[in-house]
Structure 1
Amino acid sequence: MKTDDLIRGLAADARPTRGLGTGFALALAAGCTGALALFAIMLAPRTGMPGLLAEPRILFKFVVTLSLAVAGAWTALRLVRPGADAAGPARLLAVPMVLLALAVIWELLASPPATWIPGLIGHYALYCMTLVPVMAAPVLGAVLLALRRGAPSQPARAGAAAGLLAGGLGAALYAFHCIDDSPLFMLTWYGIAVGIVTIAGALIGRRVLAW
């Protein structure tokens, strides 16, 4: 094969990154619309919402989940741009983790030991582990399709970041319904649910984002 032919072939195979941000935003909007539709069909807002957002423990759930989603989105967009440095966005992922760890420590110090296990188990752990991935699924699917416009050198990592984004948004949406407010519950069951979505994103992204 001649050098000119090789260059033309590589150029034809290269995926355009122009408009990646716009396509990502549109896909995210579509995925969120699907997630909201699932929420309307399957769940209902917790009694007292949105007024309960004035309660620190309830507001905290949205701070953690939404900050995780923002960090995941930023990291995913960096990872699908060839040569982009994803170290900064990846470090941002530490923010929700540190916040949650501090909240758990505070919970253990401020509450009697007899309340720890009930707070961790909660009322609807199984629902949480099931419904967060369900709410996240439309977001994950839409975002992965949008990220195909990029050219990630590590598609599994990019897919995992998309999973963190989707899992964070799914968890935030489920939090509108959830009556379990303990940081111990959130660390355990929300963490498992988001982990499921992240692993799914990595496994799917490894295939659909490869180029």
Structure 2
Amino acid sequence: MKTSELIAALAADPVPEPVHLGRRLAAAVALGLVGALVLYGLVVGPRPDFAEALGTIRFDLKFVDALALALPSLLLLLRLMRPDAKAGALALWLFAPLVLLAAAVVAELIVVPQDEWLPRLVGQNMRYCTTMIPMMAAPILAALIVALRAGAPQHPGWTGALAGAAAAGLASFLYASHCPDDSPLFVATWYPLATLVCAAAGAWAGRRFLAW
């Protein structure tokens, strides 16, 4: 084959469509949230005094803190889907929910008598909390892992762990409307524990399915 014929043949080949990583990630979040909402509707549901609790500082803090974890985690995931990406200053935002919780805990310790600290930390629902958040995060994490396979993350384990944290943040946002325990002492203890479970599952999934 002549050079001119080879060039013409290559030019005739269809150009592969670009992979829209942002769209894939957004679709994964939407699909995962549908699964989480199904579980929420079937198993969890809002607490009976939801309307009364809405607007109180402790109750609203749970939603703010969940979003403070989920949003920077998702933005960082979008960046890390590419093999040459660096986390950069965006990774510092992952400390935002920890700082927020720490400040809330300090305020709680100041205004609440010492003999109430342990009962508020233990709460009423710690086992249910640490079970339901990972359960509702599971469909979100699964969808995120599938979406991340379209990219080429340089560190599959860490990327998977970040996907688990993002899934936990979104699941925590849903679960917060059911949780009867609003004390920052409870939230700062059991919500992060549930998040660690999700991050560990994500790290395993990342090493298993995202390695290249």
Regarding TM over 0.5, the answer is: yes
Which whole-Å CA distance do the structure 2 matches of 1:17 and 1:51 have between them?
49
Which whole-Å CA distance do the structure 1 matches of 2:18 and 2:163 have between them?
17
Which whole-Å CA distance do the structure 1 matches of 2:56 and 2:48 have between them?
13
Which whole-Å CA distance do the structure 1 matches of 2:143 and 2:54 have between them?
29
User: Which is greater in Rg?
Assistant: 2
Which whole-Å CA distance do the structure 2 matches of 1:49 and 1:66 have between them?
19
When the two chains are superposed, the root-mean-square deviation of aligned CA atoms in Å is 1.3
Which whole-Å CA distance do the structure 2 matches of 1:23 and 1:202 have between them?
20
- The residue aligned with 1:104 is 105
Which whole-Å CA distance do the structure 2 matches of 1:50 and 1:33 have between them?
24
Which whole-Å CA distance do the structure 1 matches of 2:34 and 2:79 have between them?
24
Matches within 5 A, 1:102-181: 102-181=103-182
Cα gap change, 1:28 to 1:106, in 2 (>3 Å): same
Task: Give, as a single letter, the amino acid of the residue that structure 2 aligns with 1:55.
Answer: T
- TM-score for the superposition, normalised by structure 2: 0.89
Which whole-Å CA distance do the structure 2 matches of 1:168 and 1:117 have between them?
25
- TM-score for the superposition, normalised by structure 1: 0.90
Unaligned runs of 5+ in 2: 1-16
Which whole-Å CA distance do the structure 2 matches of 1:104 and 1:114 have between them?
15
Which whole-Å CA distance do the structure 2 matches of 1:140 and 1:43 have between them?
19
Task: Give, as a single letter, the amino acid of the residue that structure 1 aligns with 2:176.
Answer: A
- The residue aligned with 2:211 is 210
- The residue aligned with 1:61 is 62
Please give the per-residue CA displacement for 1:81-110, whole angstroms capped at 9, x wherever unaligned: 122221222111011110001111111111
Please give the per-residue CA displacement for 1:131-178, whole angstroms capped at 9, x wherever unaligned: 000010000000110011111110011101101100111111111100
Spell out structure 1 runs of 4+ moving beyond 2 A.
Answer: 48-53
| Aligned sequence identity (%) | 46
Cα gap change, 1:17 to 1:93, in 2 (>3 Å): farther
Pairwise CA distance, 1:52: 2.6
Q: Helix, strand or coil: the match of 1:47?
A: coil
Q: Helix, strand or coil: the match of 1:93?
A: helix
Which whole-Å CA distance do the structure 1 matches of 2:67 and 2:51 have between them?
16
Matches within 5 A, 1:187-202: 187-202=188-203
- The residue aligned with 1:21 is 22
